[in-house]
Amino acid sequence: MKLTTKSEYTLLALLYMARQEKDKFVKIEDICASCDIPKKYLELLFLALRQNRYIKTRRGTKGGYMLARPAGQITLAEILRLMDGALAPTESVSTYFYSDTPISREEKVLSVFKEIRDYISQRLESLTLADLV
Amino acid sequence: MKLTTKSEYTLLALLYMARQEKDKFVKIEDICASCDIPKKYLELLFLALRQNRYIKTRRGTKGGYMLARPAGQITLAEILRLMDGALAPTESVSTYFYSDTPISREEKVLSVFKEIRDYISQRLESLTLADLV
DNA sequence: AATCTTGTCTATAGATATGATAGACAAATG
DNA sequence: CATTTGTCTATCATATCTATAGACAAGATT
């Protein structure tokens, strides 16, 4: 688990959108100005958000971005996973990891890391954008 | 928080030492062979451990490394912090961070991250090497 | 004393990840 | 058809991570 500016920028931008009136497209320019994010970089992040159906867009004058689903249906966990990968503190306890390495024989170590992983997941899955506005 | 091989290697090595009979110096060679860690790399990690008084050493034949304190007095938290830095999920909620950035105005986001940070710290501070052997 | 063994320390190299930018292209609007 | 705004791929600079090299220091053995 390493949350980078990708997650931070994305969260800021999504919360900005969540605060807009319903069905209003907001320009990336506005978000960048308000949240102090480099425009070209946020475009890249939005590309991923759009391809994963978290936001929808329209081009041209009057174009922009808006949430594709109600804020209450977008969890923090899915956003952070999309932007910065698995929430587990180490690869060795990431859900789809398996290999017979020395650390995989340290059962007690692994179980602590798994406990932490589960706590983080549950906490972040229980929160939606609506909870954070 | 990003746990890398530094933390994993270090933990493996410390646990190996914790399992030895008391007052026995163990050669880095042995640890590397047993835990599958590159020797030169582990030397580097041990340097930090030694400078921070977690292990003590002796050179020459019959030399090697051993824990400088009882395993029950070395917490997981201090080792992981030493090797991979702050346990907070993001810089923005790391203890000595302050700056007036957009994220610092998102109180609810920050408080979730702080909650996670506190959970991780408490969990890891409550565990010592002795608990993991 | 000479030599072997093992740890100390600084420098550096290669690979990967992160943060950011450039620019050609596509579609909506007036 | 010109302007505006989003789409997408490529690329770059910097930082971080993993690992190695090599000169040096000190304890052990003979």
pLDDT tens, residue by residue, B49-84:
999 999 999 999 999 999 999 999 999 999 999 999
Task: Look at B92 and B98; give whichever has higher pLDDT.
Answer: B92
Confidence check: pLDDT of B116 > 90: yes
Burial B92-113 (b: 16+ CB within 10 A, else e): bbbeeeeeeebbeebeebbebb
Token reading at B21: 């009979």
Q: Distance (Å) from CA B42 to C1' C24?
A: 49
Percent of chain A with pLDDT over 90: 92
For range B35-42, the mean pLDDT: 98
- A83 and chain B in contact, CB less than 8 A: no
Give me the pLDDT at residue A96, please: 73
- A48 and chain B in contact, CB less than 8 A: no
Alpha carbons within 13 A on the beta-carbon side of A125: 8
Give me the pLDDT at residue A107, please: 96
Interval A49-99: pLDDT, tens: 999 999 999 999 999 999 999 999 999 999 999 999 999 999 999 877 777
The protein side of the strand C contact, defined by CB less than 7 Å from any of its atoms, consists of: A 2, 4-6, 38-41, 43-44, 58-63, 84; B 27-29, 40, 43-44, 46-47, 50-51, 57-61, 63-65
Task: Look at A100 and A56; give whichever has higher pLDDT.
Answer: A56
- What is the spatial distance between Cα A126 and Cα A103, in angstroms, rounded to a whole number? 30
Do residue A89 and residue B116 have CB atoms under 8 angstroms apart?
no
In order of their start, the domains of chain B are 5-67 (1.10.10.10), 71-132 (no CATH)
Q: Which nucleotide is nearest to A83 (CA to C1')?
A: C18
- B29 and chain A in contact, CB less than 8 A: no
Give me the pLDDT at residue A85, please: 97
Give me the pLDDT at residue B13, please: 98
- What is the spatial distance between Cα A10 and Cα A123, in angstroms, rounded to a whole number? 19
Q: Distance (Å) from CA A64 to C1' C28?
A: 11
Q: What is the CA radius of gyration of chain B?
A: 17
Give me the pLDDT at residue B103, please: 93
How much helix, strand and coil, in percent to the nearest 5, is found in chain B? 60, 10, 35
| CA-based nearest distance A51→chain B, Å | 25
In which band, very low, low, confident or very high, does the pLDDT at A122 lie, cut at 50, 70 and 90? very high
Nucleic strand D within 7 A of Cβ B112: no
- How far from the centroid of its chain's Cα atoms is residue B22's Cα? 21
For range A19-33, the mean pLDDT: 97
A 51-80, residues with C-beta < 7 Å of strand D? 51, 57-61, 63-65
- As a whole number of angstroms, the longest Cα–Cα distance in chain A is 59
Residue A103, phi then psi, degrees to nearest 5: -65, -30
